[in-house]
A and B are shown apart, each in its own frame.
Chain A
Amino acid sequence: MGNLLLIRRLVARDLRRRPAQAALLLLAITAASATLTMSLVLHDVTSNPYEQTQAATRGPDLVAQLGGGPTFSTGSGGQHTGAPPGAHGSGPRIHVATKTQVAAQASALIHMRGVTAHSGPFLIAGAVLKVRDLAVAVQLQGRGQAPAAVDQPEVTTGSWVRPGGVVLERSFASALGVGVGDVVTLNGRRYPVVGLAVTAASTPYPNLCFTGGCQGSIPLYTGTIEGHGNGLGWVTQADARFLAAAAGGPPSYVLNLKLAVPARANTVATAYDNAHQQPGSPSLMSWQTIAGGDALLVTDEQQVLSVGAWLLGLLAVATVAVLVGGRMAQRTRQVGLLKAVGATPGLVSVVLLAENLALAVAAAGAGLAIGMLAASLIDSPGAGLVGTAGAPALTLSTAAEVVGLALTVALAATLVPAIRAARTSTIRALADAARSPRRGTGLIKISARLPVPLLLGLRLVARRPRRAVLGAASTAVTVTGISAVLAFHNMGDQQRFGNAAGLGDPVISRDEQMLLVITVVLVALAALNAAFTAWATVLDARHATALTRALGATPGQVSAGLAAAQVFPALPGVLIGIPLGIGLFLAANGNPTATAPPAWWIAAAALGTLVVIAGLTTIPARIGIRKSPSEALGQEA
């Protein structure tokens, strides 16, 4: 009990004495905890909106494609990000089925055991949609003006199809930047947009995987259009027939089916597809597959957040380790006093650990709260679904994972210094002897051949190699994040501008927003870390720099030397971070054809990082050399 009271008092007093350091530690761990919380609570967040959309649209449990056109597949499974045009889906396999065959296939499906309702088959017309300077492939379903029993798209704006008018899927219209009243051309014919609608029968733009595969070149029989993703729309049956005839080629149809046991949709689709492999056979897609495609917007977001949480966690370890190293040095005398009055090394270790663990738990709590709040701001399922996601739920396992991350960060950075401090001899600790600088023989020899600022910088690095390693690690983590963002942005640009369509991708846009936020947090934390490390170096090197000035080094040389001491470790950090970031992007992307960003982007990011680090160091360095050498030497003597 007495020990607990002692620990509590010491922790409380130390926190009061050094609030800025405690705040920085809290901030670093909170950022990682909040990001992890967001990633965890977003799990399954789109289930609710998909169910709501399915209910509102009388959504099918199975969607069959008939007519022997290209088989469909879905962009679900988190593989959307990074898939370049043409790389996704099974690609078009053209088969010809006669109208009689289609009718027979539809009849067989409608009468399949377990099917309770159906709508269709509806003719699908492939078309080139043009608006402004955009040209994009679109799949248009021919629909009756009366509501369908299964899959009646929910009109969110405007009205349902009418002759000479087109209804566009809402997320597609959003990417096109068109609304009700705008006019588009379909295979050269002008159509006013009469409505916007959502459906549960297919994944929304840009993951529509219908005829012609998910993305890429779409055979339209009137020519090929390169585009990222197909759009979906609805026209009257007469207009669909007209457009299909203009496109040429064999007709294709969709048939929507309701099952008595919707949960069996996946099993039924798989069994049916396995049993009907011959060319021209229908293929089936279950509602679960479609829901997976709908969730891409959020699952990709989750993936980004998860990677971000790891990066922030690693950065937090580096930040906390620098802070803890500095604080342990300041607490040497306290360690000596505790041991002198009989505290065991174990108790001393607990005292030293307790503070950071307490801060870690507080940071985890803050991270959970912030993460929950932030998640509710970014859980929109997108324009492809109606309804809203339910409030993100905090489960026990989520809380345990977040607290676990926070404690791991604190322990990873604190355990070794705490044990080392506890093992220090009592006499030495009581004398509060400053930690002797290390002697990096090789670096000292090399530095003798360098200009004065670099000489001073390299020698400062050699004095505190652990700090240099942590600085390098911090830079490497930050540059990893920046490089990954650049690679992702490059991919987004390629998809936006590398094709004729030039359309935005809501999934990539959402991911880019997430990445931007994570990168800003990462860079801000790294900047704080760099400034703090620089300040720690300035304080630690007060005597050395004052002496160097007494021997004739100018303030500019010393200031530049202090900046160089931060830039030297940052250099390997940058060199490691760039391939790590690109590698991380490629690994997370899972796409072998994804490319690295242009070299000049990387070079600019690397150079910018080094300049920022040098700049951040300049301020503490200038403050540090304000004192005259006489004053500084007097204090240190």
Chain B
Amino acid sequence: MATQAVRVATPRGLRLERVLPRLGLIAFIGVLGYLTLWPLIRLQYLALKNGGQGYTDAFSRPGWWTTVKWTIELGVGSLAIALVLGTALAWAAQSLPPRLGFLRVIPILPIVVPAVASVLGWAFLLSPHPGYLNQLLRLLPWWHGQFEGPGDIYTLPWIIIITGLALASFIYLFVSSGLEQINGELIEAAQVSGSSRTGVFFRVTLPLLRPSLVYGAGIALLLGLGQFTAPLLLGRSQNINVVTTDMYTATQQIPPQYGLAAAIGSPLLVFGIVVLFMSRLLLGDNTRFVTHGGKGGFRTISPGSKLAAFWIVLYGLLSTFLPLLALVFVSLSKFWSGDVAPSKMTLDTWRTVTSASGVMPAVWNSIYLSLAAVAIALPIGFIAASLLHRRRDHRVAGPILDFIVAVPLSIPAVIFGVGFLMVYTNKPLVLYGTRWVLVLVYVTLMIPFSTRMQLGAMAALGNSYNEASRAAGAGPLRTNLQIVVPLLRPAFGGAAALMFVLLTHEFAASLLVRAPTINVMGTILYDYYENGGYPLVACISLIMVGVTTAGVLAALVLGGGSDAFKRL
């Protein structure tokens, strides 16, 4: 055999080969740290300046403790609603008759529909006097003859309810992906042992789902506490403040009170980091909870329940279809009066929306900036995921990276918004007033999603394809380019589309870091809402939904499909 022909050179004592990867790793973590941690550090610096002036001001204002109380009520209340609804929906989705399996997409829709759009939709439904739903309800004998009500969307309970409805989607995703990982034989074993279906659910399924539930609940609680859109659009006119809107108000004062804003946000920051550490401690080793084996996949023996389909459709109606329908009606009205007579419908607003000041530039900004951010976040996520995937080789860097990557998910976007504003209006990188600051915020906010989805795909792929390539003689670069990247292509498509969807929605951080001349869809929508041009607002909301839908369709085409959303 001609072994001499295939001998490969040995590098011996090439120090550079050992030093370069380490330098690269440190640089990479440094850049990510600058993006994710530096804004938060800047904020604390501001809050602590002048002997903690920011904190003193923040906590001594009248109304502060009410704000805290309302924030907790919003977080805990919406979490409770979301947990019950999300788990029930996941359970219902598993009990669907096979013919109606497509209904499983419905509970994901609230993630896909922009939050600004559905909040506005609810406003149009449940405004005390002209709300469409209120008008319908007043036809019923109980409320007949009243001028207002029965619902009033501009109150804390309703803000909690619609937040809970939206967060139920997240719980649904976590629980249903948890259900999919449960070995069906475990369920069958319980059924064969004599448990009823409900008995199995409470004694076997729920305990097995503990990790998904704990993790999902942690995330949902953070999202609820950091909720910005609904309290801002619905609560502010009635002086219902939560921490995030309080922060926003501080930045809008003249002159802006950034130190105060930073101090107001600190409780959420601390809580976010605590939840992050807790979830890492609780779920440190994800493999412990994998229940694969035997005939995988969760199945129920029953032929499927029509009732399950009913509940899912009802949820879809309330969370998504009714608000969208309200938007459509308003967009077809001359002004928002709650009148739905077909004769008074008009396409006028739709004809003028493209020429309304700033609308089209905002739409294009949203699309371009989101695409640019995706193009940057995707490779960053790939590198981070590759490093985390080989966590064992990076004993020190691994946990640090893991933490940095998770931070943007646990800290409300409003806090990041203020932090970015601070970092990029100052040296060394003065980017405020350019589109770049938006791109950087978007990249930062997407790092967790990009990394997690690609890490999930890598874990599913396993190590052996990789190792086979290394053993065959290929170096790390070639292995990545020729083996890993082609095999992960569906995951890239799914991740890119998901990020695009989330970014075209983005509202909170955009509102804070935008310059007056640079708007995206969410911010221009807010400006028109503040000025009261409701039909135009409805039009813009629906355009936003349209752009998002295009992103979702891209996700379905590019692969990953609805699975893309389950890798969160």
Q: Do A and B truly interact?
A: no
